[in-house]
Amino acid sequence: MSTFRRRFFENKTAVVCLIVLLLLALAAVFAPVLSPYDPTQMFQDHRMEGSSGEFMLGTDQFGRDIMSRIIYGARVSLMVGLSSVLVSAAFGTLFGLIAGYFGRWIDGLIMRVMDVLFAFPEILLALAIVAALGPGAFNTILAIGIVNIPIFTRTVRGAVLSIKNQEYVESARAIGASTPRILFLEIFPNVTAPLLVQASLAISGAILTESALSFLGLGIQPPDPSWGGMISEARRYMELAPGMIIWPCVAMTITILSCNMFGDAVRDILDPRHRGK
Amino acid sequence: MGSYLVKRIISLIPILFGISILVFTILHLVPGDPASIMLGTEATPEAVAVLRAEMGLDKPLVSQYLHWVGGLLQGDFGVSVHTGQEILPEILKRFMITLQLTLMAVLIGWTLAIPFGILSAIRSHSKTDKVIRILTLLGISVPNFAVGTLLLLGLSLYFNWFPPIDVTSFWDDPAEAFKVFILPAVTMGIAVAAGVMRMTRSAFLETMDKDFIRTARAKGNSMWTVVMGHGLRNSSIPIVTIAGMQIGYLLGGSVIVEQLFSIPGLGQYVLDGIYQRDYPVVQGGVLFVALVFVLVNLIIDLIYTWIDPRIKY
């Protein structure tokens, strides 16, 4: 792990992205303190204004402060992104460990189910699940979480297959360790590297899907601010107040870009095959 | 090859059944009664009961599923609750629109991606490479609805240009259709280009390291001949893989872009189905997209053996 830490801090991209992501996380956590106004408070006399000292990024069609809405939007995006990846990683790891370790028909069954989940474009499957469960933050997390389970299952299964016949697993079995013990204490710690890479890449995808669902009106529901929802609402006032569209786009791009670059950097650091490319 | 094809098609059967079970299950998880949801709050209990019987909702789930799949096997996707129209003909009609949009997006994406991806690989770590890589990362990171909205905003604000409202096909009026599809196709094309460019670069980097490339260069061939004659074909497997996945995603994932540009394609049909709680439509549309997705993957597998005769199944 210390070589990981050293390589990590040598990688400028990784460090810069981590700082950006930490700042975003701080903004999300301390949204009530940092945002100048309540994100749903309407200033009737200040509708669709441009940037000013009073409203840093201007106001929207109801006179709500765009800056405050973007800060609260970060909260939604990061929360949905992180929780849904947590859901996928938890189930994906469990299925991947079981499929990889036991092999035979259990493996066949689990992987066929994953093939079925893989047969849908992710946004469409997420849409179908949200359509059935109804919109809202919790269902959005659930939908995106389910859609991403197969990627994690495949990653973990692949890693398990490559290590399950190594001596330390053999010896754990020989001294009579129970199967759960072997799975979680011997094998699991050794699949965390690919898992971490997959998770950091999946977060950006999850944030993207959340914003797309909210854009379609099926994710986070107004008046709660979400970046996708803000862009969707702003389309009608596009020419009158371009800032209403541009700022959420900028916020979203910065977030997803740093997630992607962070994921790539972590992969380069952890995966010897990618090093030096 | 022939026997491989048969084997592949047979192995698809359980997957197709899985897909149909999944789609059916998801849309029957709906909390509450779909019939009363569809009819709204003012519906009389009698009307709800009639619709329930009509949709077969009063029967057990298993027999509902068998009835649905039985219909599917005969090309009967059922009827829309909202319009009463047959679903399959509508799906096919709208699929043709989505297909045109997808092909145009793919054309734009690939013509951008392949040359720049190759350039980025053979000049790796140069300034050109850096600029291309930054643009690629941006292309992957900006959501397509943001790209589309910004394109619309820019064009209307600075050029006072809007895409035509009426949607025409390429075989009816190519010039008009071009105007209709160009913006959504560019929007989708940017994402396609970014993905393909990334893959092209890494695949080429790998190939250009190989001994046979060095030999080809040592014989005195120009870089161009080596890239075209040896590099391209030997790097094409991963490029074709990502390209195939993207076509699949575009065919089903164009929901957002279609909604944004009001293109009445398959994505919009499913989305309207969701908004109107027209579950047979959603069920049929999602299933159809998954079928196309599986089919595209099958075709990609067959293309592998054509690109690389060493791959034998």
Note whether B137 and A257 are within 8 A (CB).
yes
Cα separation values, B44 from A133, B35, B54, Å: 25, 11, 15
Cα separation values, A196 from A133, A156, A262, A269, Å: 30, 11, 11, 11
Q: Which residues of B39-52 are buried (b: 16+ CB within 10 A; e: fewer)?
A: beeebeeeebeebb
Q: Which two tokens stand for residue A185?
A: 């204490």
A19–B contact, CB cutoff 8 A: no
Helix axis angle for B232-253 and B266-275, nearest 10°, is: 30
Nearest to A188 by CA among A152, A148, A145, A156: A156
DSSP letters of B239-276? Answer: HHHHHHHHHHHHHHHTHHHHHHTT--SHHHHHHHHHHT
Q: How many angstroms away from the CA of B224 is the closest CA of chain A? A: 23
pLDDT for res A95: 93
A214–B contact, CB cutoff 8 A: no
CA–CA distance, A13 with B173 (Å, rounded to integer): 49
Q: Which of B146, B202, B293 shows the shortest C-beta gap to A249?
A: B146
For A4-24, the pLDDT digits (tens) are 777 778 778 888 888 988 998
CA–CA distance, B254 with B247 (Å, rounded to integer): 10
Collapsing DSSP states into helix, strand and coil, what is residue A63? Answer: coil
Which residue in chain B has the smallest CA separation from A111? B15
Q: Which of A204, A249, A261 shows the shortest C-beta gap to B150?
A: A249
Which residue in chain B has the smallest CA separation from A119? B290
Mutate to test the interface with A, among B141, B188, B277 (most CBs of A within 10 A): B141
> Taking residues A27-41, what's their average pLDDT?
79
Q: Which of A119, A132, A232 shows the shortest C-beta gap to B19?
A: A119
Residues of chain B with pLDDT under 50: none
Query: Measured between beta carbons, which residues in chain A are less than 8 angstroms from residue B140?
Result: 260
Q: How many angstroms away from the CA of B76 is the closest CA of chain A? A: 21
**Torsion sign over Cα A33, A34, A40, A44:** positive
Residue for token digits 């899907």?
A209
pLDDT for res A152: 92
Q: How many angstroms away from the CA of B91 is the closest CA of chain A? A: 15
pLDDT band of residue A144 (cuts 50, 70, 90) is very high
Q: Which of B141, B156, B202 shows the shortest C-beta gap to A257?
A: B141
pLDDT band of residue A91 (cuts 50, 70, 90) is very high
For A107-127, the pLDDT digits (tens) are 888 988 898 888 888 888 898
A119–B contact, CB cutoff 8 A: yes
Percent of chain A with pLDDT over 90: 12
**Chain A stretch 216-245, residues whose beta carbon is closer than 8 A to a beta carbon of chain B:** 216-218, 228, 231-232, 235, 238-239, 242, 245
Q: Which alpha helices (H) appear in B123-173, and where do they start and end?
A: 127-141, 144-158
Query: Measured between beta carbons, which residues in chain B are less than 8 angstroms from residue A112?
Result: 14-15, 18
**Chain A stretch 243-262, residues whose beta carbon is closer than 8 A to a beta carbon of chain B:** 245-246, 248-249, 252-253, 256-257, 260-261
Mutate to test the interface with A, among B20, B204, B245, B274 (most CBs of A within 10 A): B274
CA–CA distance, A74 with A168 (Å, rounded to integer): 44
pLDDT for res A187: 84
Q: Which two tokens stand for residue B160?
A: 């006072």
pLDDT for res B206: 81
CA–CA distance, B43 with B54 (Å, rounded to integer): 15
Note whether A194 and A159 are within 8 A (CB).
yes
pLDDT band of residue A182 (cuts 50, 70, 90) is confident
Q: How many angstroms away from the CA of B149 is the closest CA of chain A? A: 7
pLDDT band of residue A94 (cuts 50, 70, 90) is very high
For A185-200, the pLDDT digits (tens) are 888 888 888 888 888 8
pLDDT for res A277: 42
Half-sphere exposure of A97 (CA within 13 A, CB side): 20
Q: How many angstroms away from the CA of B290 is the closest CA of chain A? A: 5
> Taking residues A154-164, what's their average pLDDT?
86
Q: How many angstroms away from the CA of B228 is the closest CA of chain A? A: 22
Q: Where are the beta strands (DSSP E) in chain B?
A: none
Nearest to A111 by CA among A99, A125, A102: A99
Mutate to test the interface with A, among B20, B125, B149, B266 (most CBs of A within 10 A): B149
Tell me chain B's radius of gyration from C-alpha atoms: 24
Global pTM reads 0.85
More confident residue, A35 or B269: B269
B149 with A117: Cβ contact below 8 A: no
Phi, psi of A165 (to 5 degrees): -100, 10
pLDDT band of residue A276 (cuts 50, 70, 90) is very low
Nearest to A67 by CA among A90, A83, A50, A82: A50
Nearest to B292 by CA among B99, B107, B108: B99
Note whether A110 and A95 are within 8 A (CB).
yes
> Taking residues A74-94, what's their average pLDDT?
92
Amino acid B219 reads K
CA–CA distance, A254 with A260 (Å, rounded to integer): 10
Mutate to test the interface with B, among A105, A123, A124, A227 (most CBs of B within 10 A): A124
**What percentage of chain B's residues is helix, strand, coil (to nearest 5)?**
75, 0, 20
Query: Measured between beta carbons, which residues in chain B are less than 8 angstroms from residue A109?
Result: none
